[in-house]
Amino acid sequence: MGNPKAFLTIGRKEAGYRPLHDRIYDYAEVEQTLNIEDRRLQASRCMDCGVPFCHWACPLGNRQGEWQDLAWRGRWEEAYRSLAETDDFPEFTGRVCPALCEKSCVLKLHDAPVTIRENEVSIVERAFAEGYVTARPPRRRTGKRVAVVGSGPSGLACANRLNRRGHRVTVFEKNEFIGGLLRLGIPDFKLGKKIIDRRLKLLAEEGIEFKPSVCVGKDFKTKELLEKFDAVCVTIGAGVPRDLPVEGRDLKGVYFALELLQQQNRVNAGAQIPQNERISAQGKRVLVIGGGDTGSDCVGTSIRQGAVGVTQIEIMPKPPVGSNPDTPWPMYPQVLKTSSSHEEGCERRWNLATNRFIGKDGVLIGVETERVEWEKDDAGKMTLKHTGETEVIEADIVLLAMGFVHPELDGLVGDLGVGLDARKNIAVDDANRTTVGKVFAAGDASMGASLVVRAIASGRRAAENIDRFLKGQ
Ligand SMILES: Cc1cc2nc3c(=O)[nH]c(=O)nc-3n(C[C@H](O)[C@H](O)[C@H](O)COP(=O)(O)OP(=O)(O)OC[C@H]3O[C@@H](n4cnc5c(N)ncnc54)[C@H](O)[C@@H]3O)c2cc1C
Ligand code: SF4
């Protein structure tokens, strides 16, 4: 803590987003960066607390106090080394993490937490710019082979840790691109894909073998997988989206959020999509059903595609603005979030259920919604009450962004015969073991849909457990 008074004398300063009139015409990252002096000053606001709540809240156990002090002192390389010890990919979390740490920062008590996430991304970007993020292949190989199935953040983190320990790792991915939802879910305006490519190049130089366009269970048989590898880690994500099976669901114009987002990310990467398969909001009225982050990504994407209007509806009530007594500090606050996409122009409404999709000649023209009310019962549980007050919202495209239920159960999961938990996620014990010998699981596939930071933490933990298993411990 180089400057013990900085938290009193220096205010929180965010880098902010590119101007609206500029950013909505492209898919480049919207977030800006501070100059290096301002960044050092922001890092100096950290009090290096005796009880660092930021560290407590971070699923990776990042040592925010340590690396922010080093950044303030201008010791960027040491700051990066400290950060990289607990986070395999700070360039991803620094961009897309909802920053659980900041919400728990002691300075959040005065609504001006340290800009931890932005400080993190500055440290890692400086590390790349100054050339001290280099490939570090392991000195010795153990002779053991591990298959990682699924190349999202949990699979990549697991592969990275195992490779560092000298095991030979092959990552299988059914898509043509490596990266999971980082690549084909999260829009480019939040996470530019060159950032993923830069990391993958290093991982490949360090010896990890990537096999894109191989769906394990289909293109590569499960039996062969178990025969050829000493251990397998299943990190296939929670790929099944929650559906809304009401009247009119099969009308043309009703899509899952990921259908739009994946396609747009592919188009940005240069893919040619046949006209009859292209999902485009250009000149259309868009209704996004689901008030969460995936919904917000649909809003930003629709705006960039040229929608004439975007509405986002949510069945739950509007969260409180600012603070919420139900989730006091240092808990993650359940409050209204306004993303960069919301700022770009979208109507947001709450307490609306969807009764049916309305169509003409098989094509969507509107959605009948109904106002609902929520009441807390004596046990504090929220119960839904229908009011009968209906309203038709005109729409040409509906995007269903209501979360994900569990991993795909056909194919690999069924073939392996791994046990499932009550929510149909892959059941694992404390050591990430599934019910099938030498098969482990991590990330959304075993936890349920979550966050990039939790997926990385889960992948790291699985790697440690697999390493112990391979050593016979
Ligand atoms: C639109 C969207 C936006 C999001 N934005 C954020 C955000 O801003 N911040 C945040 O923290 N989190 C965000 N999330 C959540 C986050 O992306 C996920 O929690 C995280 O990616 C999960 O990582 P994973 O490695 O477990 O799985 P995934 O990233 O889902 O990767 C699983 C991979 O396994 C592959 N696979 C599946 N089956 C097979 C098979 N049989 N053979 C080979 N490969 C297979 C899939 O194709 C996929 O590539 C977002 C999610 C979505 C959908
Ligand atoms: S809680 Fe905030 S001020 Fe304290 S160590 Fe963490 S980042 Fe620094």
Residue 376 has pLDDT above 90, yes or no: no
Q: How far is CA 359 from CA 191, 391, 469, in A?
A: 36, 15, 56
- Specify burial of residue 81 (Cβ count, 10 A radius: 0-12, 13-18, 19+): middle
Q: Can you tell me the mean pLDDT for 216-226? A: 96
> Does the beta carbon of 59 lie inside 6 Å of ligand 1?
no
Mean pLDDT of 405-417: 95
pLDDT of 147 strictly over 90: yes
Measuring from atom 2 of ligand 2, which residue has the nearest CA? 105
Q: What percent of the chain has pLDDT over 90?
A: 97
pLDDT of residue 2 exceeding 80: no
- Yes or no: say if 251 and 287 are a contact pair by the CB < 8 Å rule: no
The confidence score (pLDDT) of residue 3 equals 82
43 three-class SS? helix
For the segment 237-260, the average pLDDT, to the nearest whole number, is 98
**Could you tell me the pLDDT band of residue 300, with boundaries at 50, 70 and 90?**
very high
What's the confidence (pLDDT) of residue 382?
87
pLDDT digits (tens, 9 = 90+) for 4-25: 899 999 999 999 999 999 999 9
Q: What is the pLDDT of residues 28-63, one digit of tens each?
A: 999 999 999 999 999 999 999 999 999 999 999 999
Whether residue 294 has its Cβ less than 6 Å from ligand 1: yes
| pLDDT value of position 151 | 98
Q: Are 17 and 32 in contact (CB under 8 A)?
A: yes
The DSSP call for residue 106 is G
Q: Please tell me the distance between residue 180's alpha carbon and the centre of ligand 1 in angstroms.
A: 5
Q: Which CATH class is domain 145-239+405-470?
A: alpha beta
Q: pLDDT category, 162, cuts 50, 70, 90?
A: very high
> Strand, helix or coil at 47?
coil
**What pLDDT is stored for residue 336 in this prediction?**
97
Query: Which ligand has the nearest atom to the CA of 109?
Result: 2
| pLDDT at residue 153 in the model | 98
Residue type, 159: A
Who's near 215: CB < 8 A, 6+ residues apart? 174, 411, 412
Task: Look at residue 473 in the predicted model and tell me its pLDDT.
Answer: 84
Whether residue 1 is predicted with pLDDT greater than 90 in this model: the reply is no
Q: Which ligand is nearest to the CA of 112?
A: 2
- Residue 263: band (very low, low, confident or very high) from pLDDT cuts 50, 70, 90: very high
Spatial contact of 190 and 96, defined as CB atoms under 8 Å apart? yes
Which ligand 2 atom sits closest to the C-alpha of 7? 3
The CA 266 to ligand 1 mean position distance, Å, reads 15
Pick the atom of ligand 2 nearest to 113's CA: 2
Per-residue confidence (pLDDT) for residue 377, from 0 to 100? 84
Identify the CATH assignment for 243-402 out of 3.10.450.50, 1.10.3720.10, 3.40.50.620, 3.50.50.60: 3.50.50.60
- 87: number of CA atoms within 13 Å, CB side? 28
**Any atom of ligand 1 within 6 Å of the Cβ of 232:** no
Tens of pLDDT along 431-463? 999 999 999 999 999 999 999 999 999 999 999
pLDDT band of 137, cuts 50, 70, 90: very high
Instruction: State which ligand 1 atom lies nearest to the alpha carbon of 449.
Output: 19
Tokens of 150: 């699924």
Where do the structural domains in the chain lie, given as residue ranges?
A: 6-130, 145-239+405-470, 243-402
Q: For a ligand 1 pocket test, name from 171, 236, 342, 440 the mutation site with the most ligand atoms within 8 angstroms of its C-beta.
A: 236
pLDDT of residue 379: 84
Contact indicator for 279, 392 with CB cutoff of 8 Å: no
* Same-fold call for 6-130 versus 145-239+405-470: no
**pLDDT digit string, tens, across residues 59-109:** 999 999 999 999 999 999 999 999 999 999 999 999 999 999 999 999 999
Q: Separation of 154 CA from ligand 1 center, angstroms?
A: 8
For the record, the structure tokens of 79 come out as: 């700051």
Q: Residue 253 pLDDT > 90, yes or no?
A: yes
Query: pLDDT tens across 182-211, in order?
Result: 999 999 999 999 999 999 999 999 999 999
Q: What is the dihedral of CA 260, 264, 267, 272, to 10 degrees?
A: 10
Q: 303-314 pLDDT, tens per residue?
A: 999 999 999 999
Q: What is the dihedral of CA 364, 386, 347, 334, to 10 degrees?
A: -130
What is the pLDDT averaged over residues 292-297?
A: 96
Q: What's the CATH fold of domain 6-130?
A: Fumarate Reductase Iron-sulfur Protein; Chain B, domain 2 (1.10.1060)
Closest to 107 measured CA to CA, from 49, 38, 172: 49
Within a 13 Å sphere around the CA of 255, how many CA atoms are in the beta-carbon half? 22
Say how far apart CA 171 and CA 105 lie, in whole Å: 36
Residue range 285-289: mean pLDDT, rounded: 98
Measured CA to CA in angstroms, residue 283 lies from 267, 306, 395 at distances of 18, 6, 11
**Residue 339 CB less than 6 A away from ligand 1:** no
CB 350 within 8 A of CB 291: yes
| Ligand 1 within 6 A of CB of 89 | no
Task: pLDDT band for 380, please (50, 70, 90 cuts).
Answer: confident
